[in-house]
Structure 1
């Protein structure tokens, strides 16, 4: 993997082209990197590519980039995981499911051939050490957690596992800060890391307040926007994150710490079971 002075030649792989994966691919391509995105099938390839095109055209219209077409020339979206063989950095951005992620890291370990390639996860809650244990190169596995929307929010969390080398940490930090222009904070490898360990209990408290009939969703959100200067309320934020992702992070936190405040409330669990996942499904605490 090249140092920042060779960033124009970086070969980056991204696995998953949903909201997070497409955002990660976009910021890497906008930073001049050669980006290969892998999805599981052709319909998801088409949807992911369309998502990238729409986001880049919006960025061009707003003057954030000069040419969407030029950025898109640095990105390919395909359905062949084996094509990641030559990548110097691969960022996993699939659904927040530990079994699926560990299985993917086992595959990536055999597919990616570069001896010094970094395998990174965008997980928001799953311990990086567990993902690293699924590979034969734990020193090169690290958490690189972006925030939605990735092209807008400047933060990334860098999360070393127990076996992650200092070199991998430094190379990942340099890529995040000096290549992508993000602000990196380092977190210990504990469920939720820094942001979600604070944020998810706050969101769950809002769900419990709604569930108990204490206040409406609109009043809860408006109170936090107008009374605490939050850019949006916790329930709208949960819809943006995805209620399935919110519940998955909550479960990881609860399994790790066994604190009642981390347990997903019944209302959140029922909404996920009903397919009411927030913005991405069109229905959550609000209708979209």
Structure 2
């Protein structure tokens, strides 16, 4: 549904705009997720060459440079150059049906705006607080933009497969945005570390439980094992798949030892538990 085209009228009271997330590209379109007046989340696409990359990466600078937000009920806006005036403008805004996670299996669903976002662990993974979860801190993992949705959908499904199997973090519920599910919450595992060469037996023990369910993890690098309390917990199930043959499962099982010896840093990140 097209809401307006080239709208540029300034609302009577300028809205309060906050940059939530950005995906900036110097050679292609850049994407932004913004919060308007503390209650409405909208998505902006900006054509390349309109703004300095550094300015687009810094929220206050970006917000100060944006053309006035068009009025009306819209959730996607595209900013292009206005050839007649030589400055950026909203070339179109639309009210679109945005993609969502389809495998909604947990009874708890929490709106994104109810979460208290804390430390960013990765581009779409945050420590957070949730008023309905009896925990000081949880991990929120969500799709910032549409192209991240398939991986999150696949991972949510994998967590259903391993529910109550003592393989991964506890799944705490789905995260929604204006009615559509965009991510999920898992427990934050405190006082953990990434797996080291001496943890092969612990990691293989956890992986074996996954394989007994007929599931292949798909990425057993050492950063996807969190060691704590004398055991290993697997994370990052976006590549998990059912139906792998025994040979593929056994190959993955054997590869754990090689992966734990890898010092290249492949797969390295701040882990979802918050441990460095």
TM-score, structure 1 length as denominator? 0.28
TM-score scaled by structure 2?
0.29
More strand by share: 2
Select the structure that is richer in helix: 1
Larger gyration radius, structure 1 or structure 2: 2
